Amino acid sequence: MEILLYVSALIASLSLLLIVIFVIITLKSAKQTMGEVSETLKRVETKLTGITEQSEQLMEKTNRIADDAENKLQTLNSLSDSAKKLGNSTDHMNRSILAISDDVATPPEKYRDFMEKATVLTETAARVYYRFQKEKHKN
């Protein structure tokens, strides 16, 4: 019976030794896996840093484009306001010219006789001048 006790102690010792060996193998494997995971995380971190930098550059460009678009929109708005003011000025000039042309077309009675005489006089002077020019070219 003593032998059974020794055999069972030997089996228990071997079992513990096997457990220790398997734990050591598992720990080594876990250590290797953790190293690989660490390397993978470093690569991911490096790539994320690059992506973050590119994202920041893209945001800066987007902000510059938005600012430029805003400036151009303000310029366009001021140009539109100027065009509107120019339109108002043109309308005012058109009304003024129409008023002057109405005044010329229907002058007051006191100037009508004078204007008719001036018209006859200028027409006569123009005819004389053109005849003189015509005669001058013939000779």
Predicted confidence at residue 18, as pLDDT, reads 94
In three-state secondary structure terms, 139 is coil
Each domain of the chain, given as residue ranges in start order, spans 2-106, 108-139
What's the pTM?
0.44
Write the DSSP assignment of 106-132 as a string of letters. S--HHHHHHHHHHHHHHHHHHHHHHHH
pLDDT digits (tens, 9 = 90+) for 64-117: 999 999 999 998 888 888 888 888 888 888 888 888 887 777 777 777 778 788
Is 107 in contact with 115 (CB distance < 8 Å)? yes
Which of 100-104, 117-121, 128-132 shows the highest mean pLDDT?
A: 128-132
What single-letter DSSP state applies at residue 107? -
